[in-house]
């Protein structure tokens, strides 16, 4: 946290079973049926599902390559009365974009005016620059709850994450964790600590960062060779968002890709209202695959 310029004490950090568990704790603690909540749109669809589960009124803030539209955010915050905004500042899943410093400041100003809490999800923190603009660093956890994870850098099945917040919020969230889960995995946490202490984790991150950078470069090269316009990620990112690319309708694309042995999540999944969309999220781990690029070439509108 100190490397990211987020000042906090150990008492302000709550260990969790991954970032999704941290988000779940925040949702359970702060949201009641009918409450308005702002989210990035397009955005992280598992979050939408969690919010629907508690009966929240989900309102999308247009997400652009430079981050959430600050004017739209300020307007929606004012007219909706929302008290929470969930956003992923860096290496956004799914657009790959990162929020600019200017937009970070604008979002924090608007949140302060509306007395709104921002939940900043930062699952790729360990492979993006430590000093990249973060809401938690600019705000110092005054109006921001910061969520991090080790699952994205170690393994998806290795569920360990954390949240950082003001002392009062961290204490309340910690009590909720005890009531609902009793505890987190001390075995996983001790293992992570040992990897860090021995220097193995840093070596792993260096290798992982190189692989992500190379995969992203190959994917962009392959997509641009198809004549597609690609918004290049400002930092290391694991996804690229292609807009208005495919000639087929949303669900026809999914079905057609499946017939060719390719799995694609429908673009509509990333929008609050599930509206059909011709956009596509590309995972850089598979974005340069010859079979995928060959299939894509036949579907470009």
What is the per-residue pLDDT across 236-251, written as a single tens digit (0 to 9) for each? 889 998 886 666 667 7
- Which pLDDT band, with edges at 50, 70 and 90, does 143 fall under? very high
Q: CB neighbours (10 Å) of residue 262?
A: 16
Mean pLDDT of 145-160: 86
Residues of the chain with CATH 3.90.1150.10: 202-297
Residues of the chain with CATH 3.40.640.10: 10-196
Report the pLDDT value the prediction gives residue 227, as an integer from 0 to 100.
86
Choice between 296 and 244, residue whose per-residue pLDDT is larger: 296
Choice between 154 and 14, residue whose per-residue pLDDT is larger: 14
| Burial of 233 per CB tally in 10 Å (0-12, 13-18, 19+) | buried
Q: Closest Cα partner for 175 from 40, 50, 25?
A: 25
Q: What is d(CA 116, CA 143) in angstroms, rounded to the nearest whole number? A: 7
Q: Does domain 202-297 match CATH 3.90.1150.10?
A: yes
Report the pLDDT value the prediction gives residue 170, as an integer from 0 to 100.
97
Q: What is d(CA 180, CA 178) in angstroms, rounded to the nearest whole number? A: 6
Query: For residue range 195-232, what is the model confidence (pLDDT) as tens digits?
Result: 888 888 889 999 999 999 999 999 999 999 988 888 88
Q: Name beta bridge partners: 144.
A: 118
Report the pLDDT value the prediction gives residue 243, as an integer from 0 to 100.
80
Choice between 56 and 93, residue whose per-residue pLDDT is larger: 56
Average of per-residue pLDDT values in the chain: 91
Q: What is d(CA 271, CA 254) in angstroms, rounded to the nearest whole number? A: 16
User: Three-state SS for 249?
Assistant: coil
**How many CA atoms, within 13 angstroms, populate the side-chain half-sphere of residue 231?**
19
Instruction: Output the pTM of the full model.
Output: 0.92
- Which pLDDT band, with edges at 50, 70 and 90, does 301 fall under? low
Output DSSP code: residue 129: -
Q: Closest Cα partner for 252 from 238, 237, 268, 240?
A: 268
Report the pLDDT value the prediction gives residue 134, as an integer from 0 to 100.
97
Is the pLDDT score of 278 beyond 80? no
Report the pLDDT value the prediction gives residue 247, as an integer from 0 to 100.
63
CB-based contact 183:14 (threshold 8 Å): no
Q: What is d(CA 143, CA 47) in angstroms, rounded to the nearest whole number? A: 20
Q: Does domain 10-196 match CATH 3.30.830.10?
A: no
The secondary structure element, H or E, covering residue 58 is strand 57-64
Q: Closest Cα partner for 141 from 114, 111, 113, 161?
A: 111
């Amino acid at each position: 946290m100190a490397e990211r310029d987020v000042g906090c004490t150990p008492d302000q950090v709550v260990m969790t079973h991954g970032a999704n568990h941290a988000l779940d704790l925040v949702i359970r603690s702060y949201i009641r049926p009918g409450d308005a909540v702002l989210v990035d749109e397009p955005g992280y669809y598992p979050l939408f599902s969690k919010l629907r589960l508690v009966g929240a009124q989900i309102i999308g803030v247009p997400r652009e390559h430079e981050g959430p539209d600050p004017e739209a955010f300020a307007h929606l915050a004012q007219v909706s009365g929302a008290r929470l905004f969930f956003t992923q500042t860096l290496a956004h899943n799914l657009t790959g974009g990162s929020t600019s410093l200017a937009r970070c400041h604008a979002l924090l100003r608007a949140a302060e005016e509306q007395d709104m809490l921002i939940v900043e999800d930062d699952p790729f923190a360990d492979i993006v620059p430590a000093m990249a603009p973060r809401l938690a660093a600019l705000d110092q956890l005054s109006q921001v709850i910061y969520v991090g994870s080790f699952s994205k850098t170690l393994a998806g099945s290795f569920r360990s994450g954390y949240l950082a917040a003001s002392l009062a919020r961290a204490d309340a969230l910690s009590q909720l964790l005890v009531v609902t889960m009793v505890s987190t995995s001390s075995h996983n946490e001790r293992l992570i600590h040992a990897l860090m202490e021995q220097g193995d984790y840093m070596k792993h991150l260096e290798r992982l960062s190189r692989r992500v950078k190379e995969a992203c470069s190959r994917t962009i090269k392959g997509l641009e060779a198809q004549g597609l316009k690609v918004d290049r990620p400002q930092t290391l990112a694991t996804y690229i968002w292609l807009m208005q690319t495919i000639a087929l309708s949303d669900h026809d694309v999914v079905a057609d890709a499946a017939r060719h042995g390719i799995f694609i999540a429908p673009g509509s999944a990333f929008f609050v209202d599930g509206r059909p969309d011709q956009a596509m999220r590309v995972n850089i781990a598979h974005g340069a695959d010859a079979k995928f690029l060959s299939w894509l070439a036949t579907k470009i509108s």
